[in-house]
Amino acid sequence: MDGLTPKQQQVETFITHFLHLHGYGPTLREIQEHLGCSSLNTVRSHLALLVKKGRLQRAGNTARSIRLVKPDPPMASPPSPRRPKKAAPSAPPGIPLLGSIPAGPVEEALITSDDTLALDAGLFRGELVFALRVKGDSMKNAGIFSGDYAILNSQDIVSDGQIAAVQEDGDATLKRVFRKPNGLLLRPENAALKERLVTPSEAKNVRIVGRLVGLLRIEGGRR
C-alpha cells in the first residue's frame, strides 16, 4: 500500500473486506461508521484521494459504486468497526472552512481542516464540499457580499458563466468564468470593477479550485 496514509490504508482495507463479504461496495455512511468520523465530507475526501492514487474506481455518484482497481487478497477476518464518536444530537456534520486555498490538492486541506461550518454537506450538490469566507464586494450584484460564506464543490473545471473560486498566487477570489480563444475571462459582478483576461502565459499561476454551489449569510456577519 505504498503512497497511502494510515487512514487511507484503513479505508481501502475496509472496502476490500466489504467487497469480499457482500459482493458490492459499501456506502459512504457505512465507511463513515467504520472510521468513526462525524462528517461524510471526510469520507468523500479520502475516497477522492484513493481514486487519484489509482487505488479505487467509482462508477458515477450512485450508491455502492466503489470498486477496487487491484483488489488485495482478503485478510482472515474483517476488521472490527470502530464505535462511532458520539456527537451532540443537534450538531450536523460540518463543512470544512478553509481560511485560504492551499497550493497543493484541496482534498488534503479538507481532511486536515480544523474549522467547520455547522451545516450538512448533503444539503448541497457536490462530492467534495468546502467553504470560504467572502472578502470584498466584487460579486455584490450576484447577491454575494463581504462576510458571506461561499459553499463550493472542489473541482477544476466549470461551465461558462458559472461562479467559481479562482486561485492566483495563493489568493482565492470568486468570479464568473468564461473560456475564450485567447485565455480565461474572469468577470466580477460589480460595475465598478473590470473583468480580467488570463492569457495562456499567465495560466500557470491561475487555477479553478471550486464551483459555487451555495451561500451562507449570518445575521450581522457582513464586513
Candidates 45, 113, 154, 175; catalytic one:
175
Let me know whether 59 and 99 are in one domain: no
Least confident range of 10-14, 19-23, 67-71, 188-192: 67-71
**Same domain as 106, residue 205:** yes
Residues 112 and 59 in one domain: no
pLDDT in tens, 39-85: 777 787 888 888 888 888 776 555 566 777 765 544 444 555 555 44
Instruction: Summarize the confidence of residues 15-37 as an average pLDDT.
Output: 81
* pTM metric for this prediction: 0.58
Number of domains in the chain: 2
- pLDDT at position 218 over 90: no
Q: Indicate if 40 and 119 belong to the same structural domain.
A: no
DSSP characters over 93-125 = PPEEB-SS--SS-HHHHHHH---EESS-GGGSS
Same domain, 135 and 208: yes
| Residue 80 maps to a domain | no
Residue of 138, 159, 194, 204 marked catalytic: 138
| H/E segment holding residue 50 | helix 40-52
pLDDT at 86: 43
CATH number for 209: 2.10.109.10
159 classed as catalytic: no
Mean pLDDT, the chain, as a whole number? Answer: 77
**DSSP label of 75:** P
Do 102 and 163 have their domain in common? yes
Q: Is 79 within the bounds of a domain? A: no
Q: Is the residue at 27 inside a domain?
A: yes
The answer to whether residue 90 is domain-embedded is: no
**Is 90 among the residues known to form the active site?**
no
- Structural domain of 18: 6-68
**Under a CB-based contact definition with an 8 Å cutoff, are residues 183 and 170 in contact?**
no
Residues 121 and 195 in one domain: yes
Any domain includes 170: yes
Beta strands in the chain (DSSP E): 56-58, 66-68, 95-96, 116-117, 129-133, 149-154, 163-168, 171-180, 183-187, 196-198, 206-216
Query: What CA–CA distances, in Å, run from 5 to 10, 47, 74, 123?
Result: 9, 12, 20, 29
Mean pLDDT of the 22-47 span: 79
Per-residue pLDDT, 70 = 62
Question: Quick check: is 74 in a domain?
Answer: no
* 77 occurs within a structural domain: no
The DSSP 8-state label assigned to residue 40 in this structure reads H
Q: Residue 42 falls within a domain, yes or no?
A: yes
CA 116 – CA 38 distance, rounded (Å): 12
User: What CATH number did the domain enclosing 18 receive?
Assistant: 1.10.10.10
Do 135 and 56 share a structural domain? no
Closest CA to 92 of 62, 68, 116, 74: 116
Cell of residue 142, nine digits: 450576484
